[in-house]
Amino acid sequence: GSAGRCEQAVISDQDHGIIYEEESEVAVLYFSVFGKMLVSALDYIGYPQCEGDVMSSNPMWCRSKRDWESQLKKWMNEDTWKSLRYLLIFYDARVVVGDTKSVQSLKHIMYQTILEQPTVLARLFENTRHTVKGIGLFNQFLTIPSGPFTGYIDLKSTAIFPYVNSIRLLAIIEKIELTSTLARMEALCLHETYKNTMDSHHSNFKKLMHYRLLHDDSNSYEAGHYLNIKRLNKLEKLELKHILNDVEKLQRFTGIIVQGAIKNER
């Protein structure tokens, strides 16, 4: 999640898992209990539980290394939105405690599977390209029409997620194991293919993080996803529109890279 990418908002929910080496009933029981205690402790100090249940208390996210290998292969072969979502969440995993080699070796399974089945990239791109538009036909902000965030823009869905998803997919293609979006962009810039394109997107994403933190006076996890357009001055509005329009350019560029990667691996 966002913590794996070092991109948390002021208030962040829980997203975590456990990989353990030993395969035994004792290990399963121990880490099952530990995972539940971890979730409870984080919830107690102010980190709300993940609504999608991506937490160590869920057996799906608390497994032995061998079970994780089987799970990743299963997700790669299942043609469902949920499986692809889980796969992408895992790719953002960052080791907090323990040996980083465990996560690295599991990510290499993804690379190998893509090498053998390049159509997986097409499925990942289809999942990535589904976004919420932030700018209308007449270059107007498409704000929330009703509810507690009327007049706000969903910054997470219209801008932050499209950037995160596109850059993650490019990182998978180039086997970049850095987890933050900005670090992935910087690594992509080292490749001639991306150098000219990434500079402006790197700047855009930094500005998005700035807007989210500068104007976040929320007291809940959900509220931190929205931006009150009325609080922006004229220059900020123009800048945000420019960034939202660039989202589509990045997605088109990502699509071209994905198609090229599929052809090359075939």
Q: Measure the CA–CA gap between 130 and 233, rounded to whole angstroms.
A: 30
Residue 175 pLDDT exceeds 90: yes
Q: With cut-offs at 50, 70 and 90, classify the pLDDT of residue 266.
A: low
Average pLDDT rounded to a whole number, residues 42-47: 92
Q: Read off the pLDDT band of 131 (50, 70, 90).
A: confident
pLDDT in tens, 76-109: 988 888 998 899 999 999 999 998 899 999 999 9
| Chain mean pLDDT for the chain | 90
Whether the Cβ atoms of residue 155 and residue 232 lie closer than 8 Å to each other = no
| CA proximity to 95, closest of 82, 87, 104, 83 | 104
And the tokens for 150?
């009327």
Average pLDDT over residues 204-228: 78
Mean pLDDT of 38-63: 94
pLDDT confidence bin for 55, thresholds 50/70/90: very high
Nearest to 76 by CA among 11, 45, 122: 122
Q: Is the pLDDT assigned to residue 48 strictly greater than 70?
A: yes
Interstrand relation of 226-228 and 18-20 (parallel, antiparallel or unpaired): unpaired
Q: Where are the domains of the chain?
A: 18-117, 126-265
Question: How many Å apart are CA 201 and CA 52, to the nearest integer?
Answer: 29
Which H helix or E strand runs over 152? strand 152-154
Average pLDDT on 198-218 reads: 83
Which of 173-177, 184-188, 226-230 comes out lowest in average pLDDT?
Answer: 226-230
What's the per-residue H, E or C state across 20-80? ECCCCHHHHHHHHHHHHHHHHHHHHCCCCCCCCCCCCCCHHHEEEHHHHHHHHHHHHHCCC
Sign of torsion, CA 188 93 103 126? Answer: negative
